[in-house]
Amino acid sequence: MNEIKVMENAKKENDHIPDYWTNHRTGNKKILVPVDQRTFKAIKEIVHRTWNEELIGKGLDAKGLEELNYTKLDVILVQRVENPQVFGNYQRAKNELLDKMIALKEPSRRIESIPGEKGGDPDTTQDLDDFMKRDLCPEINECYVLHGTKVERIGGLSDRGLNLRQADPNAMFGKGIYTTDSSTKADQYADSPVHRRPLNYRNKLILSRVLLGNVYLCKEKPRQDEQKLSGPPCLNCLKDMCRCNGPKFDSVLGERYLRFREFVTYDTSNIYPEYVITYKRAK
C-alpha cells in the first residue's frame, strides 16, 4: 500500500478514542486513570532507558540539581489522562496534518532522514515497547515525548491540555511547548531551579503524544541577540516570518549544546498529555 493510502486510512481510523482507554467502557467520568501493570512497566522502562546519570545538573536549566546528590528516578505511579474533549482537539489536528501531507503528496520526512540528523525518532519512542506504539502514525512523525512540569500544573493539563500561555517567548526556540526524549532533561523542569524539592518529593513527568510532522532541524544554538523563532519556518524559504506563503514545517528539533534533544511544537492541539508519571529522585 502506498503512503498516501496509508494516510487516508489513518484518517478514517482516527474517529474514536483509543481502544485501550478504560473509562469510556465503565461510564466513569474520572480523567486520571491508573494504568495496568504492562503499561506501567513499559513507561517505567522508558524513564530508565532515557536516563543518563552523567548529565544530572548539566546545563543552564539544571541549576540546583547536582546538590541533591541523586543518581536515578524511581517511578511510583503512572496514570493515563482520559479526556475525550482534549483528545478530540488532538484528533482534529492529526486529521489536518494528514490532509496537509496528502495535499503535498508525500508523508512527513522521517526524522532519521533529515540531513545532519543522526538520532532518528525520539528515544522515548524508539525504545518504547511496541504495544504502546500501535496507534502512532509514523507518516506524520507521531511520537511519544517527555515533558517536565511542576506538580501544581498537572490538574490544569488533565482538564485542558498543555497550555501555550505558560510558554516562555524568550525560550531558545521561541514560544512553543518544549519536549524531550531524555528523562534527565525532563526532570530539570519538574521543579524550579531556585527552589528544588527535597529528595523523596513526588515529582511529575508527562509522557505525551505529539504530532511532529515535518521537523525543522536547528543544530546551532541561537545567539542571545538573535530573533527567536515565532513559529516553525517555511519549507521553501526556511524563514519563520516568510513572505512567500509556502507551507510551514510543523515542529522544531533543537539539539541544544548537542547534549539533549528537544522537540518543540507551536500548537497546543498537536500534543496530547497522555500519561502522568509520578516519581522520586533517589540515590
CB of 174 to Zn ion, least distance (A): 17
User: In this chain, which stretch among 94-102, 161-169, 227-235, 252-260 interacts with Zn ion, using CB under 5 A?
Assistant: 227-235
CA distance 42 to 247: 37
CA dist 170 and 53 (Å) reads 28
Work out how close the CB of 205 gets to Zn ion at its nearest, in angstroms, rounded to a whole number.
36
Contact 246, 237 (CB under 8 A): yes
Task: Look up cell 525518532; give the residue.
Answer: 121
**Whole-number minimum distance, CB 216 to Zn ion, in Å?**
12
SS3 track for 210-226: EECCCEEEECCCCCCCC
Is residue 190 part of the contact set for Zn ion (CB under 5 A)?
no
Position 242 contacts Zn ion (CB under 5 A): yes
1 vs 244 by CB, closer to Zn ion: 244
Binds Zn ion by CB under 5 A, chosen from 111, 132, 146, 234? 234
How far apart CA 139 and CA 135 sit, in angstroms, is 12
Closer to Zn ion by Cβ: residue 219 or 239: 239
81-98: string of b/e by CB count within 10 Å (b at 16+)? bbbeebbebbbebbebbb
Beta-bridge mates of residue 253: 217, 263
Q: Does 235 bind Zn ion (CB under 5 A)?
A: no
Question: Residue type at 173?
Answer: F
Stretches 39-47, 57-65, 153-161, 243-251: which one binds Zn ion (CB under 5 A)? 243-251
Nearer to Zn ion, 17 or 242 (CB): 242
From the list 94-102, 151-159, 221-229, 235-243, the region that binds Zn ion by CB under 5 A is 235-243
**Distance from C-alpha of 263 to C-alpha of 179, rounded to nearest angstrom:** 5
Q: Which is nearer to Zn ion, 58 or 109 (CB)?
A: 109
Q: Which of 28, 246, 257, 282 binds Zn ion (CB under 5 A)?
A: 246
Bridge partners (DSSP) listed for residue 74: 280
Nearer Cβ to Zn ion (60/238)? 238
Stretch of 176-184, 209-217, 231-239, 257-265 contacting Zn ion, by CB under 5 A:
231-239
Whether the CB-CB separation of 269 and 91 falls below 8 Å is answered with no
The residues binding Zn ion (CB under 5 A) are 234, 236-237, 242, 244, 246
